[in-house]
Structure 1
Amino acid sequence: MTPRVLIPIAPGSEEMEAITIVNILRRAQIDCTLAGTVEGPIRCSRGSVIVPDTTLEAVMDMPFDLIALPGGQPGTTHLDEDPRMHTLLQRMHAEGKFITAICAAPTILAHAGLLTGKKATCYPTLLDTLHGAETVAIHGVVCDGNIITSTGPGTAMDFALTLVETLVGKAQRMQVEEALARP
């Protein structure tokens, strides 16, 4: 069965992270849904406009294997202040699904109470806001059980490739990565 991934975005989300995640996962033939917190096009943190596949409201009750939260500001704040996000994250966590976030977005996981006792990273200036987490100050990806976090836009490709490996295995990750012609 093909894994299903939800990538929620809000006005001000980091477009490099959101699009990199969607692009890499789709290259691995993973079913991705880019869902906006509001209807219509979303203006992202650097001014790019993304047209989501659907709205968050339309997919709230659908099953997903993994949720991937892009960072960016004020997108992270908008996602964090949306009560649907905490409900969705806590439900998926209780179901043992993968909860993932990059850049500023791991702060949402901390606010939802999901990082207690977990190793996690985020954008370097926000490490001290991951209350309850065992913070890891690296520029990369940190995996701890069903929680996967990453540092920022510069690590978006590594983050997305880690999600591929997590969902469909190392061989598929290597195939996708080879086709990218990475150094």
Structure 2
Amino acid sequence: MKKTLLLLANGFEAVEASVFTDVLGWNKWEGDGSTEVVTVGMWPQLQCTWNFSVTPEMLLEDIDLDDFDALAIPGGFEEAGFYKDAFSEKFQQVIQYFNDRKKPIAAICVASLMIAHSGVLKNRRATTYNHPTSKRLKQLEQYDVEVVNERIVVDDNIITSSNPGTGFDVAFKLLETLTSSDNTNRVKELMGFE
């Protein structure tokens, strides 16, 4: 079984987290059966961007990172306090751990800023929220990242994306990385994407 750690910061966007639970969950029951997702946060209760409360399955302090094969990170809103957890030393250490072991890291929207803050995107290609009114691409560039203004950017083991609308694509890319193209296409078809 390939376990994915779904790392949830206070202020995360629920829809960006749900694509990972749904795609990898569909694979567990309808695909090749090889994936499992575990929701993890620093607090016993988390508040999503739009006032949705979530109870993570495990607390960060209670897990063994060696038990996981991949890391998935939804983005969130600054106004909802997302960056307080996202830029915390504990979250940064998780990202560094997965990167040091070349395990897949999949990030949606501004979650790439969280990865960049850890230092692992220095001199690597990535993207983040790219709406013309946003300054997030410039913020990403300040971490010495080679900013690519595309929907999804893959650099070795790290997948980053440009907005919440890319969520399913990122989750399917992670599934393909963990399993195979054929299996991913089957899950897509079963979910109505093909």
- The answer to whether TM tops 0.5 is yes
Secondary structure at 1:28 match in 2: helix
Question: Are 2:167 and 1:156 aligned?
Answer: yes
Shift of 1:98: 1.5
* Cα distance between partner residues in 2 of 1:113 and 1:76: 18
Write the letter of the residue equivalent to 1:128: K
The match for 1:96 is: 102
* Structure 1: gaps (5+ residues): none
% identity of equivalent residues? 31
Contact kept? 2:176, 2:183, Cα under 8 Å? yes
Secondary structure at 1:143 match in 2: strand
The match for 1:55 is: 59
CA offsets per residue over residues 4-60 of structure 1, 9 Å max, x none?
1101112210100001111111111211111122013x2200122222211122115
Write the letter of the residue equivalent to 2:148: V
Secondary structure at 1:67 match in 2: strand
The match for 1:122 is: 128
Shift of 1:75: 5.2
Cα RMSD of the aligned pairs, angstroms, is 1.5
Contact kept? 1:8, 1:37, Cα under 8 Å? no
* Cα distance between partner residues in 1 of 2:181 and 2:82: 30
The match for 1:66 is: 70
The match for 2:114 is: 108
Secondary structure at 1:13 match in 2: coil
CA offsets per residue over residues 121-154 of structure 1, 9 Å max, x none?
111121112222111112x221110111112211
Secondary structure at 1:89 match in 2: helix
Secondary structure at 2:38 match in 1: strand
Shift of 1:61: 4.0
CA separation of 1:61 and 1:146: change in aligned 2, threshold 3 A: closer
Question: Are 2:39 and 1:39 aligned?
Answer: no
Superposition pairs of residues 11-30 of structure 1, within 5 angstroms: 11-29=10-28, 30=35
Contact kept? 1:76, 1:105, Cα under 8 Å? no
The match for 1:77 is: 83
* Cα distance between partner residues in 2 of 1:118 and 1:66: 19
* Structure 2: gaps (5+ residues): 29-34
TM-score, length basis structure 1: 0.91
> How many pairs are equivalent?
180
* Cα distance between partner residues in 2 of 1:75 and 1:66: 25
Shift of 1:82: 2.1
Secondary structure at 1:5 match in 2: strand
TM-score, length basis structure 2: 0.86
* Cα distance between partner residues in 1 of 2:23 and 2:116: 26
